[in-house]
Structure 1
Amino acid sequence: MHNAPSVVYPLGRSRFQAGVLLGLWLSGVVVLILWWRSAPGWDWRLGLGLAAVVAAGAAAAWGWKNSPVGQLRWDGQVWSWESQGYQAGTAARELTVALDFQRILLLRLENHDHATLWLWADRRAMPERWLDLRRAVYSRRKVWPDATPFDISLPAAVDTAAASSSSRLSS
């Protein structure tokens, strides 16, 4: 199997994410309206429901507006994230696909400190590199011989097994 090509892909605010958030928020508004129409009168529970729907809408809008914007880079071995906050690029420990809708990917990028970034990748951002990104996301990371730890403790395990079997034979 060939390795995936190096790729740099721009990521930003997702219209798909905005649509999902808006749809969920509108569902909450519809439920609140139906509850208000079926309730005998206004009481504190309706006020609390209204406050919850308004707060959820504000939180969704704030979260979408502050979504990470930058570039995801794959060099053939390591993923890195480059944005205004991380201009030099931050090497990531692991990239996983959380959702795959063929034209849109929700990616989970974890760095060495276990901080997680959730990123939406959209084919419309750069259609000519979309398949390269998909190949890189789903490819196995190439393990270089010098990347493995020097002491993997396998010989020690073999020696103790040999020692225990030789002690059983001598007794």
Structure 2
Amino acid sequence: MATLIMRRGSHYFSAPPVRYPIGQGSVLLWGMLFLWGAGGAGLWFWLLQGAGDSVARLSVALGVWLCAAGAVVHFWRQRLDGVLQWDGVRWHLEAGPPGDPVHPLKGALWVRLDLQSHLWVCLDEPGGRRTWLWLERQGAPERWGDLRRAVYSRPKPEATPADEPAAARRPPA
């Protein structure tokens, strides 16, 4: 059995700096389309079972399904393209297509779902805004290990308490 021994004074393990591309998420797109299609199949089955004899119920169900389709399209068109960067102290998100002016976002990154080759993360900015990102290994396989180490590492000791998200800070006693 291996034991991890931490030397006195080295309470922080930090990951190397990493830049990781974000944007295209084929697994996310196919998953959203699958859920939307499954909803359509459920609606069709419901209609075949006799629920379609009420025009009001049919209209509401079809309206909800079309709203779900609109939400999928809206979400897909509003996703961010850019580069996620860890400098050892804080996270930066350079969002925007290549060639456009960069609007960097800074904040703390929290993992919300870890599927080993896919990560769903939330970037909490100091102003309270949240940016949700879907990261896939296929974006840059050679840097995936560094990214995974970075999302689970603690900031270097020179990070200030202002760099922590509000939920992690304790109120003064």
In the alignment, is residue 126 of structure 1 matched against residue 140 of structure 2? yes
> % of aligned pairs identical?
34
Q: Which runs of 4+ in 1 moved over 3 A?
A: none
SS of match in other structure, 1:5? coil
Q: Max radius of gyration: which structure?
A: 1
1:88 Cα shift? 4.9
User: Given the alignment of the two structures, is residue 83 of structure 1 paired with residue 95 of structure 2, yes or no?
Assistant: yes
Q: 1:72 to 1:45 in 2, by over 3 A?
A: same
**Structure-2 residue corresponding to 1:162:** none
- Name the structure 2 match of 1:110: 124
Q: Which runs of 5+ in 2 are unaligned?
A: 1-11, 163-172
TM-score by length of 2: 0.78
| Residue from 27, 30, 33 that aligns with 2:38 | 27
Alpha-carbon displacement from aligned partner over 1:60-81 (angstroms, at most 9, x marks no partner): 1210121111110100111011
Instruction: Give the aligned CA root-mean-square deviation in angstroms.
Output: 2.0
Q: Amino acid of the residue matched to residue 49 of structure 1? A: A
Count of matched residue positions in the alignment of Structure 1 and Structure 2: 148
User: TM-score when scaled to structure 1?
Assistant: 0.79
Distance in 2, matches of 1:44 and 1:2, equals 60
Contact 1:13–1:65, Cα closer than 8 Å, also in 2: no
Please say if residues 32 and 72 of structure 2, whose CA atoms lie closer than 8 Å, have aligned partners that are also in contact.
Answer: yes
Give the one of 139, 146, 149 matched to 1:135: 149
More helix by share: 1
The change in CA–CA distance for 1:18 and 1:48 in structure 2 (over 3 A counts) is same
- Most deviating of 20-29 and 127-136: 20-29
Give the corresponding residue for 1:165.
none
SS at match of 1:82: strand
Moved more, 22-31 or 80-89: 80-89
Alpha carbons 1:13, 1:64 under 8 Å: kept: no
